[in-house]
Structure 1
Amino acid sequence: MSSRKRVFDLLRIINVASCQCPAHGYRGNVQVSNTTPSKDYAFEIKCSTVRYGLGVTQEVGMDLVNLGAKNVCVMTDPNVVSLSPMKAVLDSLVRNGISYSVYDKVRVEPTDTSLKHAIDFAKRGNFDSYVAVGGGSVMDTCKAANLYACNPDADFLDYVNQPVGKGKTTTEPLKPVIAIPTTSGTGSETTGMSIFDYEEIKAKTGIAHSALRPLLALIDPLHTRSVPQTVANFAGFDIFCHALESFTAIPYTERGPAPSNPALRPVYQGSNPISDVWARFCLQCLNKYFERSVYNAEDIEARSSMHLAATMAGVGIGNAGVHLCHGLAYPIAGNVKDYVPKDYGTEPMIPHGLAVVLTAPSVFRFTAASDPDKHLEAAAILGADVTGKKQADAGRVLSDTILKYMDIMKVENGLNAIGYSAQDIPQLVKGALPQHRLLKIAPIPQSEEDLSKILEDSLTLY
């Protein structure tokens, strides 16, 4: 017991003596208790190995040889399968003598039905490793297929987040996954999440477990040149909200309860000094490169920078978490009516990046009171002039900054523009309430009335 007390005393000394400058400090004093605290007192950063560079995809075959892979599943979607990123992957596998099978039936914005189809393929294949080539939908589908193929007797809902599923953890080691993103948005190449539409409740949910993280992420900016303008636009707004939500999430010292065992610490832990570094980096990239990357596919500097920003945002959200924009986006996407976006095919769907950003102006007006200085800092990094602005102005300033970006990118004018009306708000709130993992990471607790007001204010934006 005396040695435990000495450790706590040393931590207190370090906390008091540590640098408090903006580069190293962190708002709020860390409290260290001799008893098990009701709120958490630690955070941890987990991340896939990241390899970045033009043409780095050519190395994937060598990576699989180094892993000793003998039977590889390559997952992609019906669009990417015929594009240059997939050709580069298969050329590398053939060149290095890797035996593989291709699954190209991944659904953009996957559902529980589409996941089960991919899971059945993975179970039959008895694969020893996986390569995911595509956007977040492909990577999330690949993660789920790996999980259930390694746990063949599990019920589908066993690993799905509570309260929709049972939220169980896996004890079986998963096969290695190499993720090769072809879009710049989700950051799924570094996260332990797999997100899908659960058709029964008409809302997205997911599986969150550190074991889902890919072993290696190959970030090759050459792949971004084939991304259509609308896809680049909405994917960019996913980065945008990832950065803002992780930056403004509840501080890790305010999230509770503390885990009884470090293995039980959740994937989403709240904002922390390291995740804030990634968020600031992403916001800086958005300020400099977002518009350029959307309107000029040949601007390789801009598209490369956005590709890296997506990965860095993934590192941030993969440990800090996202909150209300994403929590509300899941029922917005899940209850789609007849909206068909350009460059996404012919079926009605609401792209994830669009679903998250439509409520962002209202969300950050709501959360600004939790930490006005951080909200003003975010607006400033995005290019707003915050000179002379007071803390009471923080929500409006950040909201106006977001709206400026949305206007430049010609984003639809609110929920009305994608088919929703005031009569749909109760159903959207109902779909958001089960998103406990996200809502609890918001810096301010919210009631059903609060969520309704955010959605109401998002019906028309400009």
Structure 2
Amino acid sequence: MSSKARKVFSLMHDIGRAACGCPAHSQSFGGGISASALHKMTTMSSETPDYAFEMACSNIRFGPGVTQEVGMDFINLGAKQVAVMTDKTVGGLPIMEAVLDSLQKHHVNFEIFDKVRVEPTDESFQEAISFARENQFDAFLAVGGGSVMDTCKAANLYAFPTTAGTGSETTGVAIFDYTPLKAKTGIAHRSLRPLLGIVDPLHTVHMPTQVAAYSGFDVLCHALESYTAIPYHQRTPRPQNPINRPAYQGSNPISDIWSTHALRILKKYFKRAVYDPEDLEARSQMHLASVFAGVGFGNAGVHLCHGMSYPISGMVKKHQASDYQVDHPLVPHGLSVVITAPAVFEFTAPSNPERHLEAAGLLGADVTNAKKDDAGLILTDTLKTYMQDMKVENGIAEFGYKSDDIPALVKGTLPQKRVTVLAPKPQTEEDLSMLFEKSMRVY
């Protein structure tokens, strides 16, 4: 150790000894940090677990009618030319009219790109990127749900949600189907976080029943997966530089608060929001739950349900979900995620039965005097009840998959280590095969 380093360690040690010993005021927590301990903290191998987590989130503005402020936002930013990105469906809804009214009222120059693909691909990303490159945009506005926001992020790299599920307005992740592999993947970096997410619940009333249901299940899985993810201090490797700490850090005390609160909201408002589009309270609360869960998983990460969902949606041949106006085979993201949830959480429950039981209780299950060994079954039964109430398809077999497709589904899951490594229980190829097999039929 150099003489300069020894002086720094000595100074920190002296400060630690002189400081108040209570946790509220002291960084030493009763005795300071020794030079040897600090040396160990800065010397690590690829197997050294992390010891810290960070809290990162976009600014969020929530309220009925806040869309009218977007023109002023771009004036305040000094934007000269704005790219407005949306899809054909959302482009014909009142939300787009409200956006354009605000931009025009405040004399904001803009160009519209309305060719966003629902469940985007690398090819649809490239089309949006080409549009962005052909124009001199200094700001980007996504008008729509996760597909629009993720496409806009990608275009801004080379947000206005209308669905209450993706949480993309809070995260630094953009998800797309990579067509050569027939599986979804993602671009993840903190710099991809939107500067401002405008969440206007008035626009959620235009969601059809099944769109609301599948979006809600995305919220549910975001919250469940982030809450049950591997703890941040067990994730490896610890970054050599904090700038390299991943966006998905593992469950941590701050993300836990957001994730569990989202589950409480789901219990009270999910079913109401799905079956009564005019219940503005329920749809507003689900929109908030989407934001809360987005902050939770945006810092903690998701795991197996999402990792397995990518090939499920990427390899689909003919299935087209109801209530979605698309001209291509589609398993909506929230559906592809929740369809494996019963099998996944039964599998992961032994790793941390207390958390799985608590999650089941937050969703409405009676966990009084429940045994730890029953955590997986209790949470699975709770999930199945929600799925049956929302008329979710009975397993991936209804998407056209057969047991013969399982090896390809496993192959499509294996590269998704960005999320699967966050599962609280390691999984082999045989484990993944079993989970897909159990998800062929859910009920």
TM-score of the pair, normalised by structure 2: 0.92
Partner of 2:11: 3
Partner of 1:290: 270
Instruction: Report SS of the residue matched to 1:190.
Output: coil
Q: Deviations over 1:79-128 (max 9, x none)?
A: 11111011101100000010100000000000000000000000111100
Instruction: Report SS of the residue matched to 2:143.
Output: strand
Please say if residues 425 and 456 of structure 1, whose CA atoms lie closer than 8 Å, have aligned partners that are also in contact.
Answer: yes
Cα distance in 2, alignment partners of residues 50 and 449 from structure 1: 42
Partner of 2:51: 41
Please say if residues 5 and 34 of structure 1, whose CA atoms lie closer than 8 Å, have aligned partners that are also in contact.
Answer: no
Question: 1:421 Cα deviation (Å)?
Answer: 1.1
Partner of 2:369: 388
Cα distance in 1, alignment partners of residues 15 and 249 from structure 2: 23
Q: Deviations over 1:288-316 (max 9, x none)?
A: 00000000000000000001111111111
Partner of 1:114: 124
Partner of 1:64: 74
Q: 2:350 aligns with which of 356, 369, 389?
A: 369
Q: Deviations over 1:27-81 (max 9, x none)?
A: xxxxx76413511000001110001000000000001000001100000001111
1:83 equivalent to 2:64? Answer no
Instruction: Report SS of the residue matched to 1:308.
Output: helix
Cα distance in 2, alignment partners of residues 232 and 240 from structure 1: 12
Cα distance in 2, alignment partners of residues 284 and 434 from structure 1: 33
Q: 2:392 aligns with which of 408, 411, 421?
A: 411
Q: Which amino acid in 2 is paired with 1:2?
A: S
Instruction: Quote the RMSD (CA, aligned, Å).
Output: 1.8
Partner of 2:182: 202
Question: Compared with structure 1, are the counterparts of its residues 355 and 404 closer, same or farther at alpha carbon in structure 2 (3 Å cutoff)?
Answer: same
Question: 1:12 Cα deviation (Å)?
Answer: 13
Question: 1:344 Cα deviation (Å)?
Answer: 1.1
Cα distance in 2, alignment partners of residues 448 and 67 from structure 1: 49
Q: 2:210 aligns with which of 217, 230, 250?
A: 230
- Which stretches in structure 2 are left out of the alignment for 5+ residues? 1-8, 27-36
Cα distance in 2, alignment partners of residues 84 and 225 from structure 1: 10
Cα distance in 2, alignment partners of residues 17 and 68 from structure 1: 42
Question: 1:331 Cα deviation (Å)?
Answer: 0.3
Q: Which amino acid in 2 is paired with 1:63?
A: D
Q: Deviations over 1:407-461 (max 9, x none)?
A: 1001000111111111111000000000010011111111101111111111111
Partner of 2:153: 143
1:451 equivalent to 2:436? Answer no
Partner of 2:423: 442
Cα distance in 2, alignment partners of residues 380 and 8 from structure 1: 42
TM-score of the pair, normalised by structure 1: 0.88
Question: 1:347 Cα deviation (Å)?
Answer: 2.4
1:425 equivalent to 2:435? Answer no
Please say if residues 193 and 208 of structure 1, whose CA atoms lie closer than 8 Å, have aligned partners that are also in contact.
Answer: yes
Cα distance in 1, alignment partners of residues 277 and 147 from structure 2: 22
Q: Equivalences for 1:345-360 in 2 at 5 Å?
A: 345=325, 346-360=327-341
Please say if residues 133 and 181 of structure 1, whose CA atoms lie closer than 8 Å, have aligned partners that are also in contact.
Answer: yes
Q: How many residues align?
A: 419
Q: Which amino acid in 1 is paired with 2:395?
A: G
Question: Compared with structure 1, are the counterparts of its residues 7 and 444 closer, same or farther at alpha carbon in structure 2 (3 Å cutoff)?
Answer: farther
Cα distance in 1, alignment partners of residues 75 and 408 from structure 2: 50
Please say if residues 8 and 34 of structure 1, whose CA atoms lie closer than 8 Å, have aligned partners that are also in contact.
Answer: no
Q: Deviations over 1:212-231 (max 9, x none)?
A: 00000111000101111110
Larger CA Rg, structure 1 vs 2: 2
Q: Deviations over 1:332-383 (max 9, x none)?
A: 0000021111111242110000000010001001111111111000000000
Partner of 2:312: 332
Question: Compared with structure 1, are the counterparts of its residues 266 and 82 closer, same or farther at alpha carbon in structure 2 (3 Å cutoff)?
Answer: same
Cα distance in 2, alignment partners of residues 184 and 142 from structure 1: 18
Question: 1:181 Cα deviation (Å)?
Answer: 0.4
Partner of 1:192: 172
Question: 1:281 Cα deviation (Å)?
Answer: 0.9
Partner of 2:3: none
Cα distance in 2, alignment partners of residues 9 and 313 from structure 1: 41
Cα distance in 2, alignment partners of residues 333 and 382 from structure 1: 26
Cα distance in 1, alignment partners of residues 234 and 20 from structure 2: 18
Larger mean Cα displacement after TM superposition, 439-448 or 135-144: 439-448
Q: Which amino acid in 1 is paired with 2:383?
A: I
Instruction: Report SS of the residue matched to 2:61.
Output: strand
Partner of 1:171: none
Cα distance in 2, alignment partners of residues 275 and 7 from structure 1: 31
Cα distance in 1, alignment partners of residues 20 and 183 from structure 2: 44
Question: 1:13 Cα deviation (Å)?
Answer: 6.5
Cα distance in 2, alignment partners of residues 230 and 327 from structure 1: 22
Q: Deviations over 1:118-154 (max 9, x none)?
A: 0000011110001100010000000000001xxxxxx
Please say if residues 106 and 114 of structure 1, whose CA atoms lie closer than 8 Å, have aligned partners that are also in contact.
Answer: yes
Q: Which amino acid in 2 is paired with 1:78?
A: K
Question: 1:239 Cα deviation (Å)?
Answer: 0.3
Question: Compared with structure 1, are the counterparts of its residues 457 and 129 closer, same or farther at alpha carbon in structure 2 (3 Å cutoff)?
Answer: same
Question: 1:3 Cα deviation (Å)?
Answer: 3.4
Q: Which amino acid in 1 is paired with 2:222?
A: H
Partner of 1:280: 260
Cα distance in 1, alignment partners of residues 337 and 194 from structure 2: 24
